[in-house]
Structure 1
Amino acid sequence: MDANQRSRRNPFGMDEQCTNCPELCETREEIVHGYGDVAAEFLFVGEHPTEGADETGIPFSGDERGEALQDVLRALGFATQEPGEEPEIENAYLTLLTRCRHPERPPIDREIENCEAYLSSEVRMINPEIIVPVGERALREVAAEYTTSSPEEFDVDTHHGEEIRGRGFEIVPMVDPAEASEEERETFLESFSELLGRDYRQTKGRRGR
């Protein structure tokens, strides 16, 4: 964690009383802003808070769905905490397209648009080397904003673990680890470990798209 960073939880001090989506204000327990290392080279982006994240206020935590991603982070060396503990993350930052949970449905387009400024601010301030969109919706939104290609060209199952050229960084999509097969999990770990094992800064912008 950066020496000047006081907290991993919402380190940029984003609005914790946001009322941009009145319907979600009535259903949420917590506003779930980003969490992690502000000097991170790797930014993981999910779609919306899970039930557990809505309780803890931390993306990808508090339940089995969140723990599946934490398990991947531990396997890659980004996290060191035991299962069920508050994440202890180095060189990675966790965030979401939307910051509030509706218990009966995924976020609608307007809610993602209302939260876009939070995500774009995090991307700008962190300036990561690699963005990892977790799941189909996250991939489509990240591709629309940070590549020169149409988001319809991307599919998380097809591009799982592959490097995609973004504007200023690489994008490496991940199938939602809570829904991934063991083979898909191992594929991602192998490809990402290979990326970590070479100087990925030298390859940025050289691949297609």
Structure 2
Amino acid sequence: MDAHQDRLRNPFNMDEQCTNCDALPETRTQVVHGYGDVGGEFLVVGESPSRAADRTGVPFTGDAAGEQLQRILGELGFSRSPADATEPDLQNVFLTYLARCRHPERPPTDGEVTNCDPFLTAEIRMINPHIIVPVGGRALETLAVEYTTRSVDSFDITEAHATTIRGRGFELVPMLPLDEQTDADTEAFLEHVRENVLGRDYRQTKGRQSR
């Protein structure tokens, strides 16, 4: 964890009573802002909180999909806690979402993602990651529009899974939705990150020196 950071949960003190989206304050349990190491070189971005994350208040925790991601982070050396931890002990990685509140009957609307964009943009600017991992097609498309020069139509999450896409100032390493991954998909992602990201000086993307 960053030496100047005093907590992992919502470390930037973002609005936990947000009412920017009319429908969501009544359907959510809580606003789920980012969690993790603010000095992390990796940023994982999902679409919106699951039912479990809405309960725990921590992205990617509390259910089978969250445990899957936590196992992946453990394999990469980014988590030092059990996969079922609801407040994982993370290093070098930050977890967040496009949209911060859960509607129990539908995914976030485009308007809701837009309303939450200042939160995500602020996290990206303050963390300044080298690698962004979009989890699922919605996250990939949203980040691709903002941070690459390619048309959004040129991205397919199945084809992009476990590859590296050059962005403006960092790289995207997309991941299939956690609940859709086969064991082979997960292993392909781990192998790609170990050999093609961690196995080289990915920091040259930003010209930033190692911590």
1:127 corresponds to 2:128: yes
Local SS of the residue matching 2:126: helix
1:19 corresponds to 2:19: yes
Distance (Å, rounded) in 1 between the aligned partners of 2:110 and 2:64: 26
1:170 corresponds to 2:177: no
Distance (Å, rounded) in 2 between the aligned partners of 1:65 and 1:24: 23
CA contact (8 A) 1:46 1:133 kept: yes
Distance (Å, rounded) in 1 between the aligned partners of 2:182 and 2:206: 29
Query: 5+ unaligned residues in a row in structure 2: which ranges?
Result: none
- When the two chains are superposed, the root-mean-square deviation of aligned CA atoms in Å is 1.2
Partner of 2:201: 199
Q: Shift of residue 84 of structure 1?
A: 2.0
Distance (Å, rounded) in 2 between the aligned partners of 1:157 and 1:138: 13
- Residue 159 of structure 2 aligns with an amino acid whose one-letter code is T
CA contact (8 A) 1:17 1:31 kept: yes
Fraction of identical pairs, as percent: 59
Distance (Å, rounded) in 2 between the aligned partners of 1:177 and 1:65: 5
Q: Deviations over 1:34-56 (max 9, x none)?
A: 00000010000000000110001
Q: Shift of residue 161 of structure 1?
A: 1.0
1:102-141 pair list within 5 angstroms: 102-141=103-142
Distance (Å, rounded) in 2 between the aligned partners of 1:117 and 1:165: 23
Q: Deviations over 1:74-97 (max 9, x none)?
A: 111100111322211000000000
CA contact (8 A) 1:69 1:178 kept: no
Local SS of the residue matching 1:6: coil
Q: Shift of residue 204 of structure 1?
A: 6.6
Q: Shift of residue 178 of structure 1?
A: 2.1
Local SS of the residue matching 1:93: strand
Distance (Å, rounded) in 1 between the aligned partners of 2:93 and 2:21: 28
Partner of 1:152: 153
- Residue 70 of structure 1 aligns with an amino acid whose one-letter code is Q
Distance (Å, rounded) in 1 between the aligned partners of 2:65 and 2:84: 12
CA contact (8 A) 1:50 1:65 kept: no
- Residue 54 of structure 2 aligns with an amino acid whose one-letter code is D
Q: Deviations over 1:20-69 (max 9, x none)?
A: 01211100001000000000100000000001100011000011121111
Question: How does the TM-score come out when normalised to structure 1?
Answer: 0.95
1:32-71 pair list within 5 angstroms: 32-71=32-71
Local SS of the residue matching 1:197: coil
CA contact (8 A) 2:35 2:96 kept: yes
- Residue 111 of structure 2 aligns with an amino acid whose one-letter code is R
193-202 or 51-60: bigger deviation: 193-202
Count of aligned pairs between the two proteins: 205
Local SS of the residue matching 1:23: coil
